[in-house]
Structure 1
Amino acid sequence: MLHSSAGSDLPCHIALLGYGGLLPFAGLATLLWIQPEHASHWTRALYGYGAVILSFVGALHWGVAMSSPMLGRLMRRKAFIWSVVPALIGWPATFTDHSIAGVMLIAGFWMQLYQDHKLAGSGGLPEWYLPLRWQLSVVATCCLAAAILHSAVFA
């Protein structure tokens, strides 16, 4: 277990998986700047990965809606509905203009985090979940913002 800033124990395997999931974000954002001749390729890969991860974090709400006895009927319905929204944001971002796609994904990650906060109060999520999601969201969206900045600088 790792001790997180929120005073709760973060299982080591969860930390490795969560932070390890940031490697493609950081790697692709870095490649944009060190190999600008391939920027279109790296940007497309970064936004594709962002869309996949955005869909993944949205799916948590489906799982909680199915399994948490703590959710009331209305909150359960909202969790099921929300669970598909991130995929509906991420998928069009994969075939949208690069600068718009980046904004869509960043907005999607922050909307997801907002929804995670709403779910955490009634869904029985572990104490380490929200601090971890904050950290992962900040890094992921900074990498996506770096791609938007790169497009603006080298347009």
Structure 2
Amino acid sequence: MAEQHSLPLPRTVAWLGYGGLLPFLALAPASLLDHHHGMVWSDALYAYGAIILSFIGALHWGLAMSLPGLTERQRSAWFMWSIVPALIAWPAVLFSPPLAAPLLIAGFIAHYLQDRRLAGQATLPDWYLPLRLRLTSVAAVCLVAGVFATCV
């Protein structure tokens, strides 16, 4: 089990995780550089951020269902947490970028902190938390950049 815990980042996970950043990396500069359609790109950026935030919440639902050794209280807490990112993401799509950005960024950061808590209760691969930190960081920077589309 210890050998499996210290395996390198699987290639498929790397492709999917980093590939999931492509819309962030395309939409943030598009919202800044395309003055005619900047708000459209910015809205798309925040909608994508909301979808991804909801998706990562679902990770905790899956882990709550499948992790052995969790107490019933721990399992219930992870099930309850797993819906919080969607509850944060949903109003963000209704807000303007200056309100959506901090809400989504707070959701991504809160989820990363919950990932760290989960790592203390479960045996997650060594690559999981560093990957989540990198993905969260890039998403947050792109969401901040999208706010400036409204200022241009």
Q: Same fold (TM over 0.5)?
A: yes
The residue number in structure 1 matching 2:48 is: 49
The residue number in structure 2 matching 1:88 is: 87
Q: Distance in 1 between the 2:69 and 2:120 partners?
A: 10
Other structure's SS at 1:10 match: coil
Whether the aligned pair in 2 keeps the contact of 1:64 and 1:123 (CA below 8 Å) is: no
Total equivalences in the alignment: 147
* Aligned amino acid, residue 72 of structure 2: R
Runs of 4+ in 1 over 3 A off after TM superposition: none
How far did residue 95 of structure 1 move? 0.9
Q: Distance in 2 between the 1:19 and 1:70 partners?
A: 31
Q: Distance in 2 between the 1:113 and 1:34 partners?
A: 30
The residue number in structure 2 matching 1:134 is: 133
The residue number in structure 1 matching 2:66 is: 67
Q: Distance in 2 between the 1:22 and 1:44 partners?
A: 16
* Aligned amino acid, residue 57 of structure 1: I
RMSD: 1.2
Q: Distance in 2 between the 1:149 and 1:76 partners?
A: 40
Q: Deviations over 1:82-112 (max 9, x none)?
A: 0000000001111112210111100100000
Question: TM-score, normalised to structure 1's length?
Answer: 0.91
The residue number in structure 2 matching 1:118 is: 117
Q: Distance in 2 between the 1:70 and 1:9 partners?
A: 25
* Aligned amino acid, residue 108 of structure 2: F
How far did residue 71 of structure 1 move? 1.6
The residue number in structure 1 matching 2:28 is: 29
Q: Deviations over 1:108-133 (max 9, x none)?
A: 00000001100111122211110000
The residue number in structure 2 matching 1:3 is: none
How far did residue 8 of structure 1 move? 4.8
Q: Deviations over 1:7-47 (max 9, x none)?
A: 75000110000000000000000101220221110011000
How far did residue 149 of structure 1 move? 3.1
Other structure's SS at 1:86 match: helix
Q: Distance in 1 between the 2:7 and 2:148 partners?
A: 36
Alignment gaps of 5+ in structure 2: 1-5
Q: Distance in 2 between the 1:89 and 1:74 partners?
A: 23
The residue number in structure 2 matching 1:145 is: 144
Question: TM-score, normalised to structure 2's length?
Answer: 0.92
How far did residue 70 of structure 1 move? 2.6
